[in-house]
Chains A and B, each alone.
Chain A
Amino acid sequence: MGTLIEEIFGRRAGRPVQAGEILLLDVDYIMSHDNTTPLAIKAFRDIGKPILDKNRIVLHLDHAYPAPNVLAAENHKKIIEFVREQGLPHFYHQGVCHQVMLEEGFITPGAIVIGADSHSNTYGAMGAFGSGLGSTEIGVAWITGKCWFKVPETIRIELTGKAQPGVYAKDVMIYIAGLLGMDGGTYRSVEFGGEYIDNLPMHERIIFPNMSTEIGAKCGLIAADDVTIDYLETQTPAKGPFEKIRPVNPRYERVLEIDVATLSPQVACHPDVDNAKPLEQVEGLEVHEVYIGTCTNARYEDIEIVARMLEGKRVNEFTRVIVTPASDRIYKKAMQNGLIEILLNAGCTVTGSGCGACIGRHGGILAAGERALTTMNRNFIGRMGSPLSEVYLASPATAAATALTGRITDPRKILEIL
């Protein structure tokens, strides 16, 4: 009985649980990456006790990979030495950690996965609990296999209607961020449901839990259904049976109903994710870089939309257009299907997979006075480089339309021509 998070935590606790309770729960997987693992190793060594279960530890190199400078290289070296020393079986450097976690089948309905990365909320797309923690807690969990959680209250977001052509999950989520604000979901579980979600393919669903982080949520959840099971069975090595855990007579703190049919493409404007505006209000604003990448919007289908819109055209000559596939698997599929060639012919730069320019360390850093439009999830001041640069967030379609003109452009204008 309860909200989706109460159902998930209750199964693990072995008894019904309610919002407000504090639980010490076993976790299935403990994820960290090159940015956060060194501190976890430090906590682990400081405590001085052995790893409980190596199989639960998943390490990635993605944030600054391959290393753009000596310090990052030293970091990677330290992590690789640790992986070898401890004989850890799950070590990846083949794309953004969250995408690889999904692809490799670590995330299944009802799983409890903690990650030293704020966007670990992404795992909620599979009906799993995913949440970001700091490195110290990751080092602690390596030793204990456990983590403390306060069972959060739930905000239910009921999405109804059918989106207009040119309006994607990203637009809907930016609208929600604008509506709720950056702390609108703080400490809450945000449950996304309704007929719009039911009919959405997995690559679009992922946007909502992924960006639930931007409204402060502890987790963002979508109940597992046939779409989830199909994804797990056809796209991942995960072994069933999978349980479709659903809320049962839930008591929500708040229910928000949004008819997505009323929405036009949205842009989250500098300098906060909740500074959301209908695209019309910022149309024509000059950008110096268009960045298509990250755990939010660099999946195969995202790259496919961009390639379709850029096919046979050239991007604006003064706009850097950079595409960073979320994972090597996505990169390979895009290459096999000719999308990479289309992007290169259109004048895009295609980089190796990973977090790329998202954290402002490599692969597309902004100069002072420059403005980027990107498919990322976060646009804090200085995020992509100079503190005097600006970051605008939008869908891959809006990014592609903008790449052609060098100005923020309504994708529906390009899509109409197709």
Chain B
Amino acid sequence: MSKAWTFGENMNTDEIIPGRYNITIDPLELAKNVFCEVKPEYAANVKPGDIIVGGQNFGCGSSREHAPIAIKGSQAKCIIAPSFARIFFRNAINIGLPILECPEAVADITEGDDVDVDLATGQIFNHTNGHQYQANALPDFVLKIADAGGIVNFLKTHDIQELMMNAEG
């Protein structure tokens, strides 16, 4: 099963990973201290595929990518929140950490629920209470980046202009 880990509103980048730990860019090193102040038990107990369920304005604060990298390094599958701070949103997309906006899911999921996500459709399943939620669809160019596993991988084989094909207009 994949477990839901819930967090409050306005979770900022310092709370995700305090600035004093940003002396490395190694995802696994960063993951050792992810959420260390707001949920100290997370880093030691998170399992690959677990789901982060955040409050509104998740990831506000600094532009530091250490925050989404630390979460990705912890092997969480994705983040669900009602809304994300804009730089965090971009950063998560760009490093290939899926994020879904779904207020209904956030309101209904409690910590420890067995939750699964179909990233292709945006469907979220709560196996603990049997509920199902539909996340907002991601824009086409965002899906292109996510599908490639991040912008870096996308650009290895594509030109930046290809990002916007069929998206502009």
Contact = CB atoms under 8 A, between A and B. Distances in A.
Interface stretch (B103-111, B120-128, B155-163): B155-163
Interface string B47-76: 000000000110011111100100000000
Contact of B83 (A133, A183, A385): A183
Contacts of A24: 160-161, 163-164, 168
Contact of A359 (B15, B19, B56, B156): B19
B46 interface: no
Interface string A374-401: 0000101111010100000000000000
Given A35-B22, A182-B57, A134 B94 contact: yes
A133 B92 CA distance: 11
Interface in A183-225: 183, 186-187, 216, 218
Task: Assign chain B's interface to a size class.
Answer: 35 or more
B25 A39 contact: yes
Task: Assign chain A's interface to a size class.
Answer: 35 or more
Contact of A378 (B57, B61, B87): B61
A146 to B, nearest CB: 5
A387 B38 CA distance: 10
A144 interface: yes
Contacts of B25: 38-39, 42
A49 interface: yes
B168 to A, nearest CB: 6
Interface in A21-78: 21-24, 35-36, 38-39, 42-43, 46-49, 69, 71-72, 75
Interface of B: 10, 12, 14-15, 18-20, 22-25, 37, 56-57, 60-65, 68, 83, 85-87, 90-91, 94-95, 139, 141, 150-152, 155-156, 160-161, 163-164, 167-168
16 contacts: A22-B139, A23-B168, A24-B163, A35-B22, A36-B63, A36-B65, A38-B25, A46-B152, A71-B24, A75-B23, A117-B63, A132-B87, A134-B95, A144-B160, A183-B60, A383-B14
